[in-house]
Structure 1
Amino acid sequence: MNEFNRLVTEQMKTMDRLLFLQSELERCQEIEMELKVIQRETELESVQLKIAQMKEDLKEIQQMFEKQTEEVIRSYQSVNVSV
């Protein structure tokens, strides 16, 4: 019976370690998923910054194009007035 108790005690210790490691593994996997989400959010933020910059650049180019269009119209009108 002494041997049996020793074996059961060892088995219980092993079971405790197994359960502990399994719960730690699950906890680490949850952390891994959270980190992946954070990484995606960081990438999203980077893309959003690029989009905002491109919108600003587009706005500036549109304004430049409008000014050029006005200059072309004025130039055309001055050529036609002189003719």
Structure 2
Amino acid sequence: MSNFNDLVGEQLKTMDKLLFIQSEIERCQELESELIELQKETELQSIQEEIKKMKEELLQIHDLFQQQTEEVIRSYQEKVHQIV
């Protein structure tokens, strides 16, 4: 009977290790999922920053274009006034 008890005892230890490792795998998989989401979030933030920068640049270019248009109009008006 002693041999049987020893075998059952070893089997229980093995079962404890198995359950522990299984729970650790689950914990690590949850962490992995969280890290993947964080990475996606970081990528999203990066893209949002890039969009913000491009919008600011677009605004600056629009302002410059508006100024250039006004200068072209002034220049044209001056030429027309010189001819007349």
Gaps of 5+ in 1: none
TM-score by length of 1: 0.95
Note the C-alpha offset of 1:42: 1.1
Deviations, residues 31-63 of structure 1 (Å, cap 9, x unaligned): 011011111111111111111111001000000
Q: Matched residues in 2 for 1:72 and 1:39: separation?
A: 49
Query: What CA RMSD, in Å, does the superposition of the two structures yield over aligned residues?
Result: 0.7
AA in 1 matched with 2:44:
L
| Structure 2 match to 1:24 | 24
| Structure 2 match to 1:5 | 5
- TM superposition outliers: structure 1 runs of 4+ over 4 Å: none
Gaps of 5+ in 2: none
The number of equivalent residue pairs is 83
Deviations, residues 3-53 of structure 1 (Å, cap 9, x unaligned): 111101100110010010000001001001101111111111111111111
TM-score by length of 2: 0.94
* Corresponding position: 1:42 with 2:52: no
Q: Which moved more, 1:54-63 or 1:40-49?
A: 40-49
Note the C-alpha offset of 1:76: 0.7
AA in 1 matched with 2:12:
M
